[in-house]
């Protein structure tokens, strides 16, 4: 997924850029409103600081929205409620206030992408991953080489979550929250057990790489990273 980051504060932009890349996002970073509007794209989402050196970020937001439907997440040091409301009225999809953690930003990006990519009848069928694996999210069924794979409910939930964005690094906390319980504080060994089961049952179609100290990354076999 390609992110256009519009932020003039270099330390903030650098840490955000590094964090996003670590989670599998591609980041184009510009420091002015003019550069944001001149960026040729394509990008999937815009992270837009409001306090820019050359122009008000709200004007950039309005101009970007005037051109199309790209999701815009406003980031700002201004905790002013008015800015938030105006930003959303001008077409921003969400808003984060500084200071923020990279995980919070990633969670917002994923939530916004889920909202703006509603399923159309054309892609209502199962999702395909490479040549061998399909995940039918409506029926909660998984097929490998055309044969249904018997997965435990949590194995299915885990696969459905990890395949939302192949190649992206998901932290153990994100996975536990999404698949098990929003308030899970217990041991995460059960996650490793489920990952092992998916690796075994879907061997050859996907790989699930463990990233030490962080989490897991699902890759579709045959996909070039």
Q: How far apart are CA 165 and CA 114, in angstroms?
A: 11
What is the nearest approach in angstroms of Ca ion to the Cβ of residue 12? 8
Report in angstroms how near the CB of residue 223 gets to Ca ion at its nearest: 36
| Residue closer to Ca ion (CB basis): 79 or 183 | 79
Residue facing Ca ion at closest CB distance: 51
User: What is the DSSP pairing of strand 94-97 with strand 127-129?
Assistant: unpaired
Interface pick for Ca ion out of 19, 24, 51, 91 (rule CB under 5 A): 51
Is 55 an interacting residue with respect to Ca ion (CB under 5 A)?
no
Before 143, cis peptide (omega within 30)? no
From the list 45-53, 92-100, 108-116, 127-135, the region that binds Ca ion by CB under 5 A is: 45-53
Stretch that binds Ca ion, among 43-51, 61-69, 157-165, 178-186 (CB under 5 A): 43-51
Query: Could you say whether residue 49 binds Ca ion (CB under 5 A)?
Result: yes
Site residues for Ca ion, window 1-20 (CB under 5 A)? Answer: 8-9
Enumerate binding residues for Ca ion (CB under 5 A).
Answer: 8-9, 49, 51
């Amino acid at each position: 997924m390609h992110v256009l980051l519009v932020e003039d504060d270099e330390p903030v932009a650098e840490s955000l850029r590094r964090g996003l890349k670590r989670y599998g996002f591609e980041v184009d970073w510009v420091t002015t409103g003019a550069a944001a509007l001149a960026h040729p794209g394509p990008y999937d989402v815009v992270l837009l600081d409001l306090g820019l050196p050359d122009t008000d970020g709200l004007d950039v937001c309005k101009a970007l929205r005037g051109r199309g439907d790209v999701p815009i997440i406003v980031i700002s040091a201004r905790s002013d409620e008015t800015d938030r409301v105006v930003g959303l009225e001008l077409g921003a999809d969400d808003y984060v206030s500084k200071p923020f953690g990279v995980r919070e930003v990633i969670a917002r990006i994923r939530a916004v992408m889920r909202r703006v990519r509603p399923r159309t009848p054309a892609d209502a069928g199962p999702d395909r991953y490479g040549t061998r694996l399909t995940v039918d999210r409506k029926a909660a069924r998984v097929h490998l080489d055309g044969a249904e794979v018997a997965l435990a409910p949590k194995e299915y939930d885990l696969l459905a979550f990890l395949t939302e964005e192949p190649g992206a690094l998901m932290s153990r906390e994100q996975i536990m929250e999404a698949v098990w319980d929003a308030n899970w504080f217990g041991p995460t060994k059960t996650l490793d057990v489920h990952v092992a089961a998916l690796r075994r049952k879907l061997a050859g179609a996907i790989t699930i790489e463990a990233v030490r100290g962080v989490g897991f990354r699902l890759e579709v076999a045959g996909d070039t990273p």
